[in-house]
Amino acid sequence: MKKILFITHAGKTIGGGHLSRCFALSQGLAEQGFASCWLLNEEAKEAARSLGIQDAHFADDPFHPDALAQFSGWDEVAAVVVDSYGMGERFCAALNAKMPAKIVLIADNPGYAMERYAALVVDYSLSAGRKGYAKKERADYLLGAQYALLRKIFWNMETQEGDDVLLIPGAADVMNVGATLIQWWEPEWPALQVVSGPFVSRGRKNALVDAAKGKKNVTVLDTPDDLPNRMACAGIVLCTASVTMYEALALRKKTAVFAVAENQMGDQSFLSDGEAVCDLGFWGSVGKRDMEKVFRFQPNRQRLDDLVNPRGAILCAEQIIAFIVYNKLFCRAATFEDRDLLFAWANDPQTRENAHNKEPIRYDTHVAWLKEKLASPDSWIFLILNENTPVGLLRLDGKEPDVILSYTVAPEWRGKGIGTKMIAMLPDIVQDEKIPCQKIVADVYKHNIASAKIFQNAGYEMHEKDRCYIFTLSM
């Protein structure tokens, strides 16, 4: 199977956020069976090693056209994910020439040069929907914190009660927040843990340790391997408005955030409006007295619930696979010659579990049913193919105004985003085949969470009925 290429960078002036969220997405893709390869800057070598990244290629500047020319693995690449603030037009055009309609852009704001070429744009910030993305016909947009790119360790992590304040000022701590906070910290304040990130120089790390020696309630942690667990156990997480903030919010932590760059200024004010975080603003304007504000802050717990999807990397990976990797899916009308394939799919254990009639189907019963459906003017059965391989089935039954939808993904193709792509194709199929229909209706058992999410993400309205969700889409 082909790989997904990640092009990003990390370092003292860049920080580690780009690499962290790309790594999280690579873990989501791995859950779908896709391997990753990497084109990174030389300065990111140690950070990549600490994450366990393999199959990595390094260049002085991975966002220079020459780096693309020197990369030798293009034949194995199915799609490219890029994440950087510094992509120039020459690089964007060169990458598009190599991988047209196969580029995924992880963005924080509209206006990137690569947005012109990307087939999929991901912005998982909570304020993404109001940033004014000028959506294009040739691109899909994944906007909002349901797509939050958090590392696998956060997907199922349980939060715990704690008392300590955990300061995470960024991988490079570009504004020397750690040193300032240690200087401010009073003996009567809660215990403080200061994280010194991987791109903080050795001299600055030593200075932090020296500054903390006279303070019994201050501890300096040098790039701790157990940082996620420390976050889960902290009483307050004090951090930059970055990936770390989303990790803390996914853990439903009492979180105070500050900005160290202009692109971080939007989300914390958006969150503070709903009292989900304590917004300290730009760090340069923060003073010692603001710490009392942090200690007093009580988040709106109802606002925190389901604010950030800790498994957003999986959802994002599914969309990438559906819309980028398998963007050549097409359909054809089923025929009687497909009876054995459809019979095998119909009797798959998972298919029977999610059907209303859970009993195995007899072959003669199946054959009679298929003949009846193929002859009916009120039934339509379509096979979905990836190139020449059948990967699923869509079936519509009923007379106008409503048609009832049923679908099946081939057992060996489940978990690869095929269902998402099939449901996204359906409105075009209805129009192309001139099926008389004003509304598509589907019912899904509540325990079938994966299928329910597919319909929700496709824009269907959802209603509850007994043990099922009823999904509708007006045509």
Domain holding 371: CATH number? 3.40.630.30
Query: Measured on CA atoms in the order 458, 32, 232, 123, is the torsion positive or negative?
Result: negative
| Interval 213-227 mean pLDDT | 95
Task: Tell me, yes or no, whether 160 and 127 share the same domain.
Answer: no
* Residue of 22, 18, 32 lying closest to 315 (CA atoms): 32
- pLDDT of 255 > 70? The answer is yes
- Rounded distance, CA 185 to CA 301, Å? 28
- Rounded distance, CA 397 to CA 441, Å? 10
DSSP structure class, residue 379: E
Task: Tell me, yes or no, whether 185 and 129 share the same domain.
Answer: no
- Rounded distance, CA 227 to CA 49, Å? 17
* CA-to-CA dists, residue 296 to 255, 290, 365, angstroms: 12, 10, 68
Q: Provide the whole-model pTM.
A: 0.75
Task: Tell me, yes or no, whether 215 and 352 share the same domain.
Answer: no
Burial classification of residue 19, based on how many CB atoms lie within 10 Å of its CB (0-12 exposed, 13-18 middle, 19 or more buried): buried
Task: Tell me, yes or no, whether 39 and 8 share the same domain.
Answer: yes
39, 6 contact by CB (below 8 A): yes
Task: Tell me, yes or no, whether 136 and 191 share the same domain.
Answer: no
Does 313 fall in a domain? no
277, 255 contact by CB (below 8 A): yes
Going edge to edge, which strands form the sheet with 255-259? 218-222, 192-196, 165-168, 236-240, 255-259, 278-282
Task: Tell me, yes or no, whether 253 and 360 share the same domain.
Answer: no
pLDDT-derived band at 387, boundaries 50, 70, 90: confident
pLDDT tens figures, 413-471: 887 778 888 898 898 899 888 999 899 999 998 888 888 888 887 889 999 988 899 99
pLDDT-derived band at 271, boundaries 50, 70, 90: low
Task: Tell me, yes or no, whether 8 and 107 share the same domain.
Answer: yes
Q: Among residues 149, 172, 202, which one ends one of the domains? A: 149
- pLDDT of 307 > 70? The answer is yes
Q: Strand (E) positions, 124-213? A: 140-143, 165-168, 192-196
Percent over 90 (pLDDT), the chain: 65
Task: Tell me, yes or no, whether 267 and 356 share the same domain.
Answer: no
- Rounded distance, CA 242 to CA 257, Å? 9
- pLDDT of 110 > 70? The answer is yes
Task: Tell me, yes or no, whether 126 and 244 share the same domain.
Answer: no
Task: Tell me, yes or no, whether 94 and 183 share the same domain.
Answer: no
| Interval 347-376 mean pLDDT | 89
* Residue of 158, 129, 161 lying closest to 145 (CA atoms): 129
Does 295 fall in a domain? yes
pLDDT tens figures, 130-150: 777 876 655 678 998 999 999
| Interval 298-314 mean pLDDT | 88
pLDDT-derived band at 475, boundaries 50, 70, 90: confident
Does 254 fall in a domain? yes
pLDDT tens figures, 320-357: 887 777 667 889 999 999 999 999 999 998 888 877 77
Task: Tell me, yes or no, whether 117 and 32 share the same domain.
Answer: yes
List all residues 6 or more positions away from 177 whose beta carbon is below 8 Å from its beta carbon. 167, 169, 170, 258, 260, 283
- Rounded distance, CA 106 to CA 84, Å? 8
- What pLDDT is stored for residue 265 in this prediction? 66
Does 314 fall in a domain? no
| Interval 181-202 mean pLDDT | 96
Contacts 24+ apart (CB under 8 A), 142-147: 142/316, 142/319, 145/246, 145/249, 145/307, 145/308, 145/309, 145/312, 146/309, 146/312, 146/315, 147/122, 147/309, 147/312, 147/315, 147/316, 147/319
Structural domains in the chain (count): 3
Does 318 fall in a domain? no
Query: Residue 323 is encoded by which pair of tokens?
Result: 């819309």
Does 317 fall in a domain? no
Domain range enclosing 65: 3-149
- What pLDDT is stored for residue 297 in this prediction? 93
Does 309 fall in a domain? no
| Interval 111-117 mean pLDDT | 85
CATH number at residue 41: 3.40.50.11190
Query: Residue 206 is encoded by which pair of tokens?
Result: 């030593």
In degrees rounded to 5, what are phi and psi of residue 129?
Answer: -65, -15
- Rounded distance, CA 10 to CA 47, Å? 8
Rounded to the nearest integer, the mean pLDDT of the chain is 90
Q: 3-state class of 96 per DSSP?
A: helix
Q: Which of 157-171, 267-281, 431-445 has the lowest mean pLDDT?
A: 267-281
- Rounded distance, CA 433 to CA 92, Å? 38
**Element holding 82 (H helix, E strand):** strand 77-83
The dihedral region occupied by 5, where left means phi > 0, alpha psi between -120 and 50, and beta the remainder, is beta
CA angle 91, 93, 95 (to 5 degrees): 65
* Residue of 283, 279, 450 lying closest to 354 (CA atoms): 450
Q: Among residues 149, 183, 218, which one ends one of the domains? A: 149
Q: Among residues 92, 115, 149, which one ends one of the domains? A: 149
Does 253 fall in a domain? yes
Burial classification of residue 247, based on how many CB atoms lie within 10 Å of its CB (0-12 exposed, 13-18 middle, 19 or more buried): buried
* Residue of 121, 9, 99, 97 lying closest to 56 (CA atoms): 9
Task: Tell me, yes or no, whether 95 and 181 share the same domain.
Answer: no
Burial classification of residue 94, based on how many CB atoms lie within 10 Å of its CB (0-12 exposed, 13-18 middle, 19 or more buried): middle
